[in-house]
A = this chain, B = another copy of it.
């Protein structure tokens, strides 16, 4: 049977993530890959998980193995709210929805808010997974400039004014606020305050995606924008267990005003009924028992070392000519910009031939013909010695391409 004529219009325009297709290229043995975005399995608290499973099956088997409510297991929603309150966020458990990873949070936001043709404000570059979610609903993007201190408020405001002139009200501003994927940068506290002011002035909703905020290696913590929003309820906050516990549980949360939470929960009913109850109970056990809080410093210590190894190797081996990169203070990634004439997508073929891989940055820019000269580098996953060798190899390939003066395609 030919399914061709049966596919929906969206399916015909749908394509696999370029990153994922490229990753297949990098799966060759011997390739040192900085292309992934995986937490290091060395951080997985295996013993603690097994002990929590034992307690959960002893005390809560009937609920933990049953369907849960769509919004999530009550004890986990309460534990998440309490966890966030420690960081100065005012969160009621009823504002918390447990999702099947933050990716589902993004999909539900797309369902609830985005009509075909709606405009979303984003930093440039921004998280590819969010673009993929929003693309499905037919989102358009208005891109805002960013630098080492994150998205630039003046650029956001300029975009808002410009859109308003054309009669367009964007549905929301989407940002990864801390140690962003892909850029590794953090929006400064002053900029966050300014963004909240702008949001107030323009009645703008903000989606603050914060998977990496807890993984700070240096410097002072910056309060979330959600905590700066004084009772206006215009910030929807996304957090996740994937980076502070394990990704394999597929557990994340959204925090949104009650009415929006209700819409997301009704959407989730038809999407998957509920999130995995078993891992929700395990995570609730580990969070309320303080085990996650005690575990985070171990993750930080491992990743800080890896970040140091990578930045040290970049300092030593990356070409100085026209190349800059993020001195990430946390998270999983750094990000490099090469001279404008270097196309990192094309360069990847040479890199893989030299057994090293990265993600070409282009995919993280919603507009065509920008970001061709950028790359995302992951330091959380590869072993330290591989990081050194891989960066040295990559530096060599970069030097060749910079020397080529090849014209941008």
Binding site for B on A (CB under 8 A): 1, 3, 5-11, 14-17, 20, 38-39, 41, 44, 46, 49-50, 53-54, 57, 61-68, 99-101, 103-104, 107, 111-115, 118, 129, 132-133, 135-137, 169, 171-172, 203, 205, 232-234, 242, 246-250, 257, 259-260, 263, 266-267, 269-279
Contact = CB atoms under 8 A, between A and B. Distances in A.
Contacts of A112: 7-8, 11
A233 B62 CA distance: 39
Contact of A65 (B6, B66, B249, B266): B249
A242 B169 CA distance: 43
Given A53-B53, A61-B41, A7 B248 contact: no
Given A132-B269, A272-B101, A57 B67 contact: no
Counting from the closest, the 4 A-B pairs by CB-CB distance are A248-B277, A65-B246, A41-B62, A65-B248
Nearest to A5: B169
Nearest to A200: B1
Nearest to A235: B1
Contact of A103 (B54, B135, B273): B273
Given A111-B10, A260-B3, A132 B270 contact: yes
Given A20-B269, A50-B57, A133-B270, 18 more contacts: A1-B257, A5-B169, A6-B172, A8-B111, A16-B269, A44-B62, A44-B65, A66-B246, A101-B274, A104-B272, A107-B271, A129-B270, A136-B270, A248-B278, A250-B274, A250-B275, A250-B276, A276-B276
